[in-house]
Chain A
Amino acid sequence: MKYIDEYRDPEGVRKYAAALKGITTRPWTLMEVCGGQTHAIVKFGIDQLLPEQINLVHGPGCPVCVTPLEIINKAVEIAARPGVIFCSFGDMLRVPGTERDLFSVKAAGGDVRIVYSPTDAVNLARKHPDREVVFFAVGFETTAPANAMAVYQAAREGLTNFSILVSHVMVPPAMEAVLSSPDNRVQGFLAAGHVCTVMGFDEYPPIAERYHVPIVVTGFEPLDILQGVYMCVKQLEEGRAEVENQYARSVRREGNPPAMEMIERVFTVIHRKWRGIGEIPDSGLGLKPEYTAYDAEQKFDVAGATAEESTECISGLILQGLKKPPDCPAFGIRCTPEKPLGATMVSSEGACAAYYRYRNRHG
């Protein structure tokens, strides 16, 4: 398959792994930001091919993982109301709230549907004017433009039975939160390629400069990731801290301006709580005042029972790259994808779930 096979070529992988070995003289700790990259690293076994001195830690870029428990509880509460059609991407349905997940709501008679795009939810609202259609707007800057577009379209058509439950978060503030932690070990970043496809990478040079870390915008295939690691290590070995673009076949410096305009038109930057990490200032998106009619939280006035996370779970430390899944005593024993204790085990893109699925169970 074009644009896929050439980036999974074993010969190319071998060459890059050898080149990387050639330039590595010291231990380095790098963080891949995006959950999709973590997934690829563990699935393809890319970390097994790296020189021993290179330590990859897994970042906070899994949208399912960082969605706070309170928001899941709100989703469950809204979805259970009679007359509501609750739409979501598939992987949010299995995330447990305090009491239950969206699958259980569906089983109990709630109308919960998996959609592939927020515009599918808008279509449902058009088709069922007597029902309230709610879309669970989760994700980073990658899903924000389409979600913004759905609200914009609904507003333009005057649909009054459509709303979104927003839990949008943004990558650069999370990277800064990791870097400014007193325990930070991260010396270089593989930035999330798809986020940069939308947003470009103008936000990164100030971060690279302030914290003196190289940032390499990186794709998701094995060769992308190896090349990203190579570019990052090369900078570190040469004492540079610049922003470079490995994923040039998808990412332009200026990003995707129409997509960014759509985000700006509908959303505004707000403080957001991240599951496992806590509140990060100016790290999320919420609907602008002129679109509050499309805000499901306001429309349904849900309390969203605040919830205590398991005290045993170390997902906050994992999301900040301070620990790895096998470091947790509960991993694979008291915490599994069927009975997750916390954020990083619930989603298929979470670091703990990836280790559980592809690695030895007990670390």
Chain B
Amino acid sequence: MQRTCPIPISDYPVVTLAHGGGGRLMRMLIEKMFGAAFSNPLLDRMHDSASLTLPGGPTAFTTDSFVVRPLAFPGGNIGELAVYGTVNDLLMAGAEPRYLSCGMILEEGLPMEELWTIVTAMREAADRAGVSIVTGDTKVVDRGKGDGVYINTSGIGSIPAGRSVGPDRIAPGDAVIVNGDLGRHGIAIMAVREGLEFESEITSDCAPLHREVDALFKAGIDVHCMRDCTRGGLASSVIELAGQSGRGIRLDEAVMPVREDVRGACEMLGLDPMYVANEGRFVLFVPGGEADRACECIKAHGPEDAIPVVIGHVEDNTSGEVTLRSRIGADRLLDLLSGEQLPRIC
């Protein structure tokens, strides 16, 4: 793949409305930019739809849109998020991700160089996660009507025969495991967006989860349920699963893995790291007896900086609620927030 932006600065240094107009400029953008970057036999046919031969059996299908500001942040950019986000959603359903679509909504005036950086990052991310981007769409909106780039990706994956993963399988005695430290993505974004400076740069945890998830199944671990901990953080994911499964879940605040710098930033801003966004973390439910093996699997196959921790267990009741044992040993209810966490006055 070429490394420099294929649309010469002298021609069109920025995205113009014409790049979404359906004419020659749009074709040029698609062929030179997206086609060049995502190239594979299915995409190269350039039909309105990609014609796929799906392996027989259950299939997972998901979609996600990405509207992050700033477009690039320490540890990643919107392109990587758009690939990993959808790949991870497929993985959480027990599927092996195969094909992605890519819908681009570009803002008039976006520098081509910037778009190229995003597009190449997407290609590299797709390669890393073992998926192909096989179809796409491009629209351009007036300057001021978008934040540079919005990306939508949809994904298809195949679910191996006999594999069943979901909230309905969460059972009393299950261990609740998180695959690494919490809150890094949200704080990394906030630091750039608000111009906050910390002693060390906090980088996003943005990453695909295919290696560790694959390893769990290969090791024969009876994975009951998985969910990624993106918007709303770990707490929102676990609360959702408690509600969907109708099971009571108990978590232990004292063992929550949060890095010192992230904790410091959260303390300062009045945020609870359990509710801060991640992009490479998921919560895993396995039978209690398999917890140690599951942790070893994740440790061996996940990113180096992600240390898995057992953070709680599923109780033998049908409350559908999450109880948190606080750091000082008292219990409280863990509940969804009304909206985003807001920094407090004092």
Contacts and interface: CB of A to CB of B under 8 A. Distances in A.
B267 A4 contact: yes
B331 A48 contact: yes
Contact of B328 (A46, A89, A337): A46
B338 A114 contact: no
A357 B344 contact: no
A140 B342 CA distance: 19
B267 A1 contact: yes
Interface in B293-346: 326-333, 335, 338-339, 342-346
B233 to A, nearest CB: 15
Contacts of B69: none
B333 A143 contact: no
Contacts of B343: 89-91, 114, 116
Interface string A138-173: 111011000000000000000000000000000000
A326 to B, nearest CB: 13
A89 B333 contact: no
Contact of B345 (A63, A222, A338): A63
A13 B346 contact: no
A11 to B, nearest CB: 10
B346 A45 contact: no
B231 interface: no
Contacts of B331: 45, 48
Given A10-B328, A44-B330, A114 B342 contact: yes
B327 A8 contact: yes
Contacts of B254: 10
A4 B267 CA distance: 9
User: How many B residues are at the interface, by size bracket?
Assistant: 20 to 34
A63 B338 contact: no
A93 interface: yes
Nearest to B268: A116
Interface in A328-353: 337-338, 348-349
A317 B330 CA distance: 27
A359 interface: yes
Interface in B245-268: 254, 260, 263-264, 267
Contact of A1 (B263, B329, B333): B263
Q: Pick from A4, A14, A44, A93 the residue with the most CB of B within 10 Å.
A: A44
A296 B270 CA distance: 28
A356 B332 CA distance: 11
Interface in A23-64: 36, 42-46, 48-49, 63-64
B197 interface: no
Contacts of A45: 326, 328-332
Interface in A77-98: 89-94
Contacts of A93: 342
B48 interface: no
Given A1-B263, A357-B333, A139 B346 contact: yes
Contact of A360 (B263, B267, B333, B339): B333
Contact of B346 (A114, A140, A338): A140
Contact of A359 (B260, B263, B332, B345): B332
A14 B327 CA distance: 12
A321 B326 CA distance: 25
B332 A43 contact: yes
B194 interface: yes
A37 to B, nearest CB: 12
A108 B194 CA distance: 23
A272 interface: no
A140 B333 CA distance: 30
Contacts of B329: 10, 13-14, 45, 49
A211 interface: no
Given A1-B264, A357-B333, A91 B327 contact: no
Contacts of B346: 36, 63, 139-140, 142-143, 194
A91 B264 contact: no
B267 A91 contact: no
Nearest to B327: A8
Given A4-B267, A13-B329, A44-B330, A337 B338 contact: yes
B264 A94 contact: no
Nearest to A45: B330
Given A1-B263, A10-B254, A48 B330 contact: yes
A300 interface: no
A9 to B, nearest CB: 8
A135 B196 CA distance: 20
Contact of A89 (B194, B326, B335, B345): B345
B53 to A, nearest CB: 46
Nearest to B261: A1
Contacts of A338: 338
Interface string B260-281: 1001100101000000000000
A116 B332 contact: no
B194 to A, nearest CB: 6
B269 to A, nearest CB: 8
Given A1-B264, A116-B194, A91 B330 contact: no
Contacts of B328: 8, 10, 13, 44-46, 49, 222
Nearest to A141: B346
Contact of A90 (B260, B333, B335, B344): B344
Interface in B209-246: none
Nearest to A361: B333
B280 to A, nearest CB: 23
Nearest to B324: A358
A36 B267 CA distance: 13
Nearest to A115: B194
B345 A10 contact: no
Nearest to A90: B342
A93 B267 CA distance: 21
24 contacts: A1-B263, A1-B264, A10-B254, A10-B327, A10-B328, A13-B328, A13-B329, A43-B332, A44-B328, A45-B328, A45-B331, A89-B343, A90-B342, A90-B344, A91-B345, A114-B342, A116-B196, A222-B328, A337-B338, A348-B342, A358-B332, A358-B335, A359-B332, A360-B333
Given A114-B343, A116-B196, 11 more contacts: A1-B260, A1-B263, A10-B328, A14-B329, A43-B326, A45-B332, A49-B328, A49-B330, A91-B345, A116-B269, A222-B327
| Closest 10 A/B residue pairs (Cβ) | A45-B330, A90-B342, A358-B332, A13-B328, A90-B343, A48-B330, A89-B345, A142-B346, A44-B326, A222-B328
